Amino acid sequence: MTRLPFRSVFVSDVHLGLADCQAGYLLDFLRSMQCERLYLVGDIIDFENMAKRPFWHASHTAIVAEILAIAARGTRVVYIPGNHDAALRRLAGQRIAGIEIALDAVHVGADGRRYRVSHGDEHDGESSTPAWLVTLGDALQGFVCGMNRRCNRLLRACGVHYRPLSIHIKTRIGSALRFIRDFERRVADRARADGFDGHICGHIHYARMHQDEHVLYLNDGDWVEHCTTLVEHADGAMELLHWTERRIALGHSAAVVAVPLPLASAA
């Protein structure tokens, strides 16, 4: 089988151990591509949910096995734990079964652009959102994901392909949109202050790519609601992909082209 070649792949918010995880689509993506670098950008395993509601499906085991196989084939795999798999942060600096564990990473693109890679939850601390509202938001998120799962089960029975219904709900709630935009601004501001060309993260389950005053904000989305990943091509161009029965490019950032300096005029 011919695999799609990428220089780098960024995957986050898989939430293995959660009933809403779209494991089948992710497994299909992993088996359909090859890359030099695979970044697991947090919340790959949802230890937090499993402590409350134990759940594990055979497809979740298959994803773990596929990631181990990717590492065994020579791909550099970097696991950056998020808030739902934070227990793994104590293992930062170690290498397990060929997988590096790190708190964050610096990725240098093929075109020379430098990106900070982190899960993104470190930017939550700058928000003044009350604890009760965060709890309510988590409950609503669970409700929306459950509704998304049940509706898509019905759609599949009717022969209709997967639809990320939850994104339509989120983008129509003013407070949710403000939260997303504020998060994006904080991430971009920090990357700019630290001298990076961009920041790659996940966390908020909202895939997006946009330029913010010369800083490229890249969110690879999730595999619970939207089934999205970020890929880097051989020339450094970045692309957001939606991967279900439909495979759609959601955004594309061209590689930086080096412009030669003008030759000095002869004396």
pLDDT value at residue 178? 85
* Residue that is written with structure tokens 């950032």 in the block: 253
pTM: 0.86
pLDDT digits (tens, 9 = 90+) for 98-120: 999 999 999 999 999 999 999 99
Which of 59 and 260 is assigned the larger pLDDT?
A: 59
| DSSP annotation string for 152-196 | HHHHHHTTPPP--HHHHHHTT-HHHHHHHHHHHHHHHHHHHHTT-
pLDDT at 263 over 60: no
Separation of CA 259 from chain center: 31
pLDDT value at residue 213? 84
SS (H, E, C) 3-59: CEEEEEEEECCCCECCCCCCHHHHHHHHHHEEEEEEEECCCCECHHHHHHCCCCCHH
3-state secondary structure of 114: strand
Average pLDDT rounded to a whole number, residues 78-103:
97
Average pLDDT rounded to a whole number, residues 37-61:
95
Which superfamily, per CATH, for 4-253? Metallo-dependent phosphatases (3.60.21.10)
* Residue that is written with structure tokens 């994104």 in the block: 167
Residue 224: Cβ within 10 Å count: 23
Average pLDDT rounded to a whole number, residues 67-86:
97
Lowest mean pLDDT among 163-167, 191-195, 222-226, 253-257: 163-167
SS3 content of the chain, % helix, strand, coil (to 5): 35, 25, 40
pLDDT value at residue 154? 75
Percent of the chain with pLDDT over 70: 81
Contact in structure between 12 and 42 (CB atoms under 8 Å): yes
Residue 161: Cβ within 10 Å count: 10
Contact in structure between 38 and 75 (CB atoms under 8 Å): yes
Q: Which of 80, 79, 114, 123 is nearest to 97 (CA)?
A: 79
Lowest mean pLDDT among 23-27, 85-89, 129-133: 129-133
pLDDT at 64 over 60: yes
Residues 6+ apart with CB under 8 A from 2: none
Residues 6+ apart with CB under 8 A from 222: 12, 13, 14, 15, 43, 202, 205, 207, 228
pLDDT digits (tens, 9 = 90+) for 170-219: 667 777 788 889 999 999 999 999 999 999 999 999 999 999 888 999 99
Percent of the chain with pLDDT over 90: 66
Average pLDDT rounded to a whole number, residues 69-77:
97
pLDDT value at residue 265? 39
Question: 44-70: buried (b, 16+ CB within 10 Å) or exposed (e) per residue?
Answer: bbbebbbeeeeeeeeebebbeeebeeb
pLDDT digits (tens, 9 = 90+) for 128-175: 555 544 554 566 666 666 666 677 677 677 876 776 666 666 667 777
Q: How far is it between the farthest Cα atoms of the chain?
A: 78
C-alpha distances out from residue 217 to 40, 101, 210, 234, Å: 17, 23, 5, 20
